[in-house]
């Protein structure tokens, strides 16, 4: 179902490259995103046959020549294996990391919601709601009128009056999601936060993402949960070693990803994570 007959671009990413520089690295060569240390190199190092170079600047090429256009009304899942560049791409779109080369153009204000988004651990959830709401451009009165909804949505109950450092990581992530979506953002970016909630929270989040799309927003969702991307996204970007290797309808791209990297069978007990990639 096409929400907008004429696609209206909200984000344009053009030939984007992000290279991190790590100071004081032990190795002196550039590493491709997703490249694992191991095998013979590891053995050589353990045996002391490979020179360790302390103090070098090591470059990590995390995003390589990525281009795409996102439109208003789309919810876009970013999938890929560990270290493939998903979070880096998201943070670059949010303007938190400058492009090494290429460009990112946005038509609205981004709101990045990530597990690392800054809320202040020493302050209570209540204070963080006030500060976070103001950062979104809400007035004190507007925040107060939405306060109960935010707390209810996050499901943290009376913990809202405790310092956030006393929260579990899931509670913190749920509160961040609730704050970030208290006002419909132009561009919402969600980094794995939905993996931390129970089925009820996921259902509520899914509804809210649909609502943001309908209210002419664009949603980006980084997730290791293939099902979450299939359920919540209209489109998916598949990152592999820093490159965008597939871009299309979520169902198709996730199915291709699952065929390439079949899900490993996990032990049935102690299964706590929502990851299923």
133-149 CB burial, b ≥16 within 10 A, e <16? beebebeeeebeebbee
Which range of residues in 8-16, 81-89, 151-159, 208-216 is near ligand ATP by CB under 6 A? 81-89
Which range of residues in 82-90, 138-146, 148-156, 243-251 is near ligand ATP by CB under 6 A? 82-90
Among 11, 16, 33, 171, interactor with ligand ATP by CB under 6 A: 33
72-109 CB burial, b ≥16 within 10 A, e <16? bbbbbbbbbbebbbbbbbbbbbbeebebbebebebeee
- Tell the smallest beta-carbon distance from residue 88 to ligand ATP (Å): 3
Residue 87 touches ligand ATP, criterion: CB under 6 A? yes
Residue 133 touches ligand ATP, criterion: CB under 6 A? no
Reading the block at residue 124, the tokens are 């209570």
- Tell the smallest beta-carbon distance from residue 75 to ligand ATP (Å): 18
C-alpha to C-alpha distance for 219 and 229, rounded to whole angstroms: 12
C-alpha to C-alpha distance for 170 and 193, rounded to whole angstroms: 8
- Tell the smallest beta-carbon distance from residue 80 to ligand ATP (Å): 5
Residue 82 touches ligand ATP, criterion: CB under 6 A? yes
Q: Which residue shows structure tokens 């460009």?
A: 103
C-alpha to C-alpha distance for 67 and 178, rounded to whole angstroms: 30
Among 16, 62, 70, 190, interactor with ligand ATP by CB under 6 A: 62
Residue 223 touches ligand ATP, criterion: CB under 6 A? no
Give the Cβ contact number of residue 53 at 10 Å: 12
Pick 60 or 151: Cβ nearer ligand ATP: 60
DSSP 47: T
Among 80, 99, 125, 132, interactor with ligand ATP by CB under 6 A: 80
Pattern 9-28, ligand ATP, x by CB under 6 A: -----------x-x------
Parallel, antiparallel or unpaired: strands 75-79 and 235-240? parallel
Contact positions vs ligand ATP (CB under 6 A): 20, 22, 33-34, 60, 62, 80, 82-88
């Amino acid at each position: 179902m096409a929400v907008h007959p004429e696609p209206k671009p909200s984000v344009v990413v053009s030939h984007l490259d992000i290279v991190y520089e790590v100071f004081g690295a032990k190795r002196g060569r550039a590493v491709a995103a997703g490249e694992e240390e191991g095998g013979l190199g590891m053995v050589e190092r353990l045996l002391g046959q490979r020179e360790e170079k302390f103090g070098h600047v090591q470059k990590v090429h995390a995003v390589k020549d990525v281009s795409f256009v996102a439109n208003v009304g789309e919810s876009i899942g970013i999938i890929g294996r560990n270290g493939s560049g998903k979070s880096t791409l998201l943070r670059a779109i949010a303007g938190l990391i400058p492009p090494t080369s290429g460009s990112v153009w946005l038509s609205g204000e981004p709101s990045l919601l990530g597990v690392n988004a800054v809320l202040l651990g020493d302050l209570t959830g209540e204070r963080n709601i006030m500060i976070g709401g103001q950062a979104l451009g809400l007035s004190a009165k507007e925040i107060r009128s939405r306060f109960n909804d935010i707390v209810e949505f996050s499901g943290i109950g009376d913990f809202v009056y405790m310092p956030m450092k006393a929260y579990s990581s899931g509670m913190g992530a749920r509160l961040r999601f609730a704050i970030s979506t208290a006002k419909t953002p132009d561009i919402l970016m969600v980094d794995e936060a939905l993996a931390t909630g129970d089925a009820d929270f996921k259902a509520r989040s899914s509804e809210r993402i649909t609502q943001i799309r309908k209210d002419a927003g664009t949603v980006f969702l980084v997730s290791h949960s293939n099902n979450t991307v299939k359920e919540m996204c209209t489109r998916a970007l598949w990152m592999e070693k820093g490159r965008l290797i597939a871009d299309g309808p979520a169902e198709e791209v996730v199915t291709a990803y699952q065929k390439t990297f079949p899900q490993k069978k996990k032990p049935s007990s102690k299964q706590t994570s929502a990851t299923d990639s």
